[in-house]
């Protein structure tokens, strides 16, 4: 295989080195292009641009492959859990039994938030979006742990594992507090005897004199949801975390920025859009049959949400995994005749049998099932993206470290092609028309 490519510009030939990844992904190295030629590349949306070299996650969208640190998502989902996968992503290797106990102990120790932080929730309006609160509160954590948020990458990398444990543990406490604050409910403190997901559900739904006990199938469904969302390569929010980290910002600030990026409806809001679609179908008195036919006709207001995926040209591997957990949770919760669920099942049946969907590879994706799982558990729609953020936190943290640990790293600064006015003279206000 050649090690270089030749580019001809203005009757001049330029040699561009080739970069090959461990899974044979190939790229042209254009870092010296502007210095040598004065040209830049234009790639709106960065769909064909490699912004970094990373050892965390591998995706092959054509083949439906997703791996964390080399381990297939199928094996991890079947044999591991969210906390072990979080350790894998953050540390780079699966933990030993002793390492896993130590990591779990760190999460337990760091789950309570500082008592003075509880008062910060009182200053948000009652209808404030939980994502706005979560981003602000994660950023505020750095104020309570200044030794972990120095904005000096060399020092912050030294405390990386402590900071990671703080964020992974406290993000669920902050999420639960934002949920309860919006409903005027008292905060529920974490319990030392509960695993990660069961503890989160306890903080969300327990009452002072009535402890919420999660059914095993429900806790397993939530655990799987978080595991499947732990990282997903250089998506919008992860790229945002790396962008902010490149400025020298600490881990709290960088992950808070990731929350803001994830909040956008084109990124983290897909599972909420599924529920909104089902509600709209139900409000029209349709059982899903009419909607499917209108969607096939290309009606602009009849867009199927939760089907197909920008990255996966085949079946989303996460959807295959989460589907069974979804049905187990429904059975445990004894949910049998929910109108939105019935509509969803008709849409799923159409997508898996109708030639229109099969030929276009519009299979149900992970957002289709995860939205239904969140609704079945009792998590409100405005918290769906918060749940996504909790799951994605390990990936953001690991990507921050790759940036912060790179001694040759430089601040991210994309170029642009200017299309505005050329140079012109200032016109005094009394002469303007």
Is residue 142 classed as helix, strand or coil in its secondary structure? helix
215 vs 33: CA distance, rounded Å: 58
Q: In whole angstroms, what separates CA 379 from the centre of its chain?
A: 17
Query: Of how many residues is the chain composed?
Result: 433
Cβ neighbors of 79 (< 8 A, separation 6 or more) are none
SS3 17: strand
- CA atoms within 13 A of residue 85's CA, in its CB half-sphere: 31
**CA separation for the pair 154, 358 (Å, rounded):** 51
- DSSP label at residue 429: G
Helix, strand or coil, per DSSP, at residue 80: coil
Catalytic-residue membership of 229: no
Cα 183–185–189 angle (5° rounding)?
Answer: 130
Among 282, 367, 425, 430, the one annotated catalytic: 367
- Is 10 a catalytic site residue? no
At residue 93, what are phi and psi to the nearest 5 degrees?
-140, 155
Residue of 309, 316, 354, 430 marked active site: 309
Catalytic residues: 309, 367
């Amino acid at each position: 295989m050649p090690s270089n490519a030749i580019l001809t510009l203005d009757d001049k030939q330029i040699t561009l080195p080739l970069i090959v990844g461990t899974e044979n992904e190939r790229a042209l190295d254009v870092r010296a292009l502007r210095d040598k030629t004065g040209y830049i590349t234009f790639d709106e949306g960065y769909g064909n641009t490699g912004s970094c070299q990373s050892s965390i996650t591998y995706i092959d969208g054509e083949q439906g492959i997703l791996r964390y640190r080399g381990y297939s998502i199928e094996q991890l989902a079947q044999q591991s859990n969210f906390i072990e996968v979080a350790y894998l992503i953050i540390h780079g290797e699966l933990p030993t039994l002793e390492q896993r106990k130590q990591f779990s102990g760190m999460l337990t120790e760091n789950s309570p938030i500082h008592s003075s932080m509880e008062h910060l929730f009182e200053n948000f309006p009652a209808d404030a979006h939980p994502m706005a609160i979560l981003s602000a509160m994660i950023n505020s954590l750095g104020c309570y742990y200044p030794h972990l948020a120095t904005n000096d990458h060399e020092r912050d990398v030294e405390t990386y594992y402590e900071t990671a444990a703080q964020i992974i543990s406290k993000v669920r406490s902050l999420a639960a507090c934002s949920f309860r604050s919006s409903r005027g409910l008292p905060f529920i403190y974490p319990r030392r005897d509960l695993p990660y997901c069961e503890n989160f559900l306890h903080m969300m739904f327990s009452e002072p004199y009535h402890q919420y006990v999660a059914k095993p199938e429900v806790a397993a469904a939530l655990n799987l949801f978080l595991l499947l969302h732990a990282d997903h390569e250089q998506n919008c929010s992860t790229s945002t975390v790396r962008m902010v980290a490149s400025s020298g910002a600490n881990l709290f600030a960088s992950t808070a920025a990731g929350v803001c990026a994830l909040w956008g409806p084109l990124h983290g809001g897909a599972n909420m859009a599924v529920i909104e679609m089902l509600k709209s179908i139900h409000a029209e008195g349709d059982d899903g049959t009419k909607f499917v036919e209108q969607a096939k006709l290309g009606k602009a207001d009849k867009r199927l949400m939760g089907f197909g995926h920008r990255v996966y040209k085949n079946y989303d591997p996460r959807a295959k995994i989460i589907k069974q957990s979804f049905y187990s949770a429904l059975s445990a919760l004894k949910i049998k005749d929910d109108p939105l669920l019935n509509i969803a099942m008709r849409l799923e049946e159409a997508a898996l049998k109708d030639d229109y969907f099969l030929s276009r590879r519009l299979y149900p994706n992970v957002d289709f099932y995860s939205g239904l799982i969140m609704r079945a558990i009792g998590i409100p729609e405005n918290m769906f993206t918060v749940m996504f953020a909790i799951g994605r936190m390990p990936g953001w943290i690991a990507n921050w470290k790759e940036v912060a640990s790179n001694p040759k790293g430089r601040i991210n600064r994309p170029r642009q092609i200017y299309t505005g006015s050329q140079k012109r003279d200032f016109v005094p206000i009394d002469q303007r028309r």
